[in-house]
Amino acid sequence: MIDKDGSFRYSQVIVLELSSKNLFVLNQNYPNPVKGTIQLAYQVSEDAKVVIELLSNDGKKVATLVNQQQGVGTYNITLDLTKYALSTGNYAYRMVAFDKNNNQIFTATKTMVLTK
């Protein structure tokens, strides 16, 4: 940046290290749009209770897809949505993680389109 008087000064360099190993992640489902079976992938960066819910377009819970204590790692699950008798439309799925004291430490929501 150059000041109005023509002088300039460089700011101090700050180094940031980001590692995906230290992140909770909820990936987009595959395939999208969905015709029946989907793949969901997510990452847990610390031991946590993980809850993944399927929500209708108006935000009402349709189903609980995952509800368990999980350790650090990457998870891939295959779900058959035909067993829920869902109509064609837009749906969301939400992942919430809780620490050992039941404090919410992560939440993410993704959307998907269900077709018949």
Question: In residues, how long is the chain?
Answer: 116
pTM of the prediction? 0.78
Task: Check: CB of residue 88 under 8 Å from CB of residue 35.
Answer: no
Average pLDDT, the chain: 90
Q: Which of 10-24, 27-41, 66-80 has the lowest mean pLDDT?
A: 10-24
70 pLDDT exceeds 90?
A: yes
Per-residue pLDDT band for 3 (boundaries 50, 70, 90) equals confident
Q: Which two tokens stand for residue 8?
A: 């300039």
Per-residue pLDDT band for 7 (boundaries 50, 70, 90) equals confident
- In the β-sheet with 61-70, what is the strand arrangement from edge to edge? 61-70, 48-55, 89-98, 104-114
What domains sit in the chain, N to C, each tagged with a CATH number?
A: 22-114 (2.60.40.2550)
Structure confidence at residue 84 (pLDDT) = 86
In tens, the pLDDT along 33-68 reads: 998 899 999 999 999 999 999 999 898 999 999 999
The helix (H) or strand (E) run that includes residue 95 is strand 89-98
Structure confidence at residue 81 (pLDDT) = 87
